[in-house]
Amino acid sequence: MTLGTVAVVAVLFRNQIAQLLATRRKLLDYTSKSLEALAGIVLMLVAVAELLP
């Protein structure tokens, strides 16, 4: 039963992502770039924190 539930959720999620990609391409691009920038900033902060005594 659990495997079946996971399969159904995966199919529904895939359909939602496909619909989102078809209708909101610019929003996803902006969100992706923002998350990449945020991850870079976090990595830089961690590196600086490790370098400082």
Q: Place 2 in a pLDDT band, splitting at 50, 70 and 90.
A: confident
Q: Which residues contact 28 (CB under 8 A, 6 or more apart)?
A: 20, 21
- Encode pLDDT of 34-53 as tens digits: 999 999 999 999 999 999 97
Domain ranges within the chain, ordered by starting residue: 25-53
- Encode pLDDT of 6-39 as tens digits: 999 999 999 888 888 889 889 888 999 999 999 9
Cα-based angle 46, 40, 42 (whole degrees, multiple of 5): 35
Q: What is the DSSP string of 2-39?
A: HHHHHHHHHHHHHHHHHHHHHH-HHHHHHHHHHHHHHH
